[in-house]
Amino acid sequence: MNEKLLHTPEGVRDIYGTECLERHEIISRIKKVLKSYAYSDIETPAFEYFDIFNMDKGSAPSNEMYKFFDRNNNTLVLRPDITPSIARSAAKYFPDEELPIRLSYMGRTFKNEPLHQGKLHETTQIGCELINDDSSAADAEMLACVVDVIRVSGLKDFQIVIGEVEFFKGIIEEAGIDKDAEAEIRDFIQLRNFFGLQEYIKKLDINESSKEALCSFDKFFGSVDMLDHAETVTKNEKALTAISRLKKVYNVLKFYGYEDCIGFDLGMLNGYGYYTGIVFRAFTYGTGSAIVRGGRYNNLLAKFGKDAPSIGFAIIIDDLMMAVSRQHIKVDTDTNRALVIYEIKNQKSAVLLAEKLRERGVEASLIRKSSRHTVAEYEEYARRYEFDRMYIVKDDDEVDESFVISKEIADLKAKYSDNDQPGGAL
C-alpha cells in the first residue's frame, strides 16, 4: 500500500475525537455571541474568481493563493480570506441599503504558506462585518464583541492591542516623505528595529519635529495614557484626529467594563494599504499568532461598487483552540452518550432501548456483541470513546447497566420493559 494514502499534505490536518467535540462546542458558543449582537449568518463560496482576492482587496499575495482554472479558462482561487467575499456579497445584495448591515460567517480559508514554517495552510475562521457605520461607537462595539467571543472560549488571560494607521499616515504626511522612504520606515517599525529606524531617520532631509515624531514610535505602545504623549509630538490634523478617535473608543469600552483588556500600539501597521483607521489584534498565551485580527476598511466595498464604511474581525479557530489546549482550559462538551451491547436474539429490545434513549437526548450507539470480545473489553472501549454509560441487553429484556463516570466503571443491574424508562439513573 502507498504510505502517502495515510498522510495528509503539508499544512492540513485531521481533527477528531475529543478535540473535534471541544472545537464544535467553542464554535457553538462563539456563534451564540455573534447572534446576541444581532449578526445574520451568510455563507459564501470556498472558491471565487481571482480578482475578488487580488492584492488591492487586502488579501494574500498571489504566490500564497491556491489557484486553478475552470473549463472556460477563468482563474479561480480557494479563498485565502473571507472578508472580500462578504464585501462582494454586501455590494450585490444590499446595494441601496444605507443603514447598518451586520453579517457573520464561518468558513475555511486556504493559504499556500512558505514551506517549513509550521503554519497551517487550511484554517477555520469565524467573523463578522459591520457595514454602513463609520462611528467610533461601532469600533468600540466590535472590540466588545471580541472580548465576549474570547471569554466564552474559557480564556481569561488575553489582551486586545489597538492601533490606528491614520496616525502614522498623518506623521508621514506632515514630514513630506516619499513612498519609498515611507515603506522603509514602516518596515523598521513593524520589525521593531528602532535602532535602525533612528539611524535611517537621521539621514532624511525633513524637519526636526517630524524626525522626533518618527523616532518616538518605540514609545507609542502601552496603556491609554500613552495616547496623551502621542498627541504632543505632532500638529498634523489627521494624526490628532486618529488619537482623538482612539480615546473615544476607549471611553465607550469603559461603558462595557472592558477597558482592562485593552492596550495600544500605534506602530501596529499590519495591512497598511488595506485598513483605513483602527486596527486590532488579540493575543494570549500558548500561540505565537494573534487569535483575532480585525480593523476598519472603509475603501473595500467601493471596489465592488458600493461606497460604504466597514469594520470587522476574524477569529482564527485553530489558534484559539491551541491556546485553550495549552492553557489546560477544560471545555465542557455537555455530551450524554450511551453504548448498547446486544446479541442478535435480543436485537429488538436493543433497538427499542436505543430509540428511547435517543428520544431523551442521549447519543446511543448500538453494537452487536461478538464472542471474540469480553465484557471487560467493551467497557474499555466505552472508556476509550468517552461513553457515559453502557447497557448490555440480555435474555427476557434484562439489561446490565454499567456507568462510565470519570473513566471508572460501576456495574449495576436494571430491569427494562417497553413501558419503563430505560436506566432509572439517566
DSSP labels, 364-401: EEEEE--TTS-HHHHHHHHHHTT-SEEEEE-GGGEEEE
Pairing mode, if any, of strands 363-368 and 389-393? Answer: unpaired
Angle of helix 194-202 relative to helix 208-215, nearest 10 degrees, comes to 170
Instruction: Give residues with Cβ within 8 angstroms of 138, minimum separation 6.
Output: 100, 130, 311
Phi, psi torsion values for 360, nearest 5 degrees: -95, 10
Contact status, residue 101 vs residue 131, Cβ threshold 8 Å: yes
pLDDT in tens, 130-174: 999 999 999 999 999 999 999 999 999 999 999 999 999 999 999
**What is the CATH topology of the domain spanning 3-326?**
BirA Bifunctional Protein; domain 2 (3.30.930)
CATH 3.30.930.10 residue ranges for the chain: 3-326
Share of the chain above pLDDT 90, in %: 75
| CATH architecture, domain 337-415 | 3-Layer(aba) Sandwich (3.40)
Instruction: Give residues with Cβ within 8 angstroms of 376, minimum separation 6.
Output: none
C-alpha to C-alpha distance for 125 and 317, rounded to whole angstroms: 6
Q: Can you tell me the mean pLDDT for 66-86?
A: 96
Dihedral over Cα of 198, 203, 204, 209: its sign: positive
**pLDDT surpasses 80 at 221:** yes
pLDDT at 57 (0 to 100) = 62
Between the ranges 264-273, 317-326, 397-406, where is the mean pLDDT highest?
A: 317-326
pLDDT at 117 (0 to 100) = 76
Angle made by CA atoms 198, 199, 202, in degrees to the nearest 5: 85
Q: Using 50, 70 and 90 to split pLDDT, how confident is the model at 394? A: confident
CATH 3.40.50.800 residue ranges for the chain: 337-415
Q: Can you tell me the mean pLDDT for 396-409?
A: 48
pLDDT in tens, 111-121: 998 877 788 99
C-alpha to C-alpha distance for 16 and 18, rounded to whole angstroms: 7
pLDDT at 414 (0 to 100) = 36
What is the residue-wise DSSP string for 293-353?
EEEE-TTTGGGGT----EEEEEEEHHHHHHHHHHTT--------EEEEEE-GGGHHHHHHH
pTM of the model: 0.86
pLDDT in tens, 311-337: 999 999 999 999 999 999 999 888 889
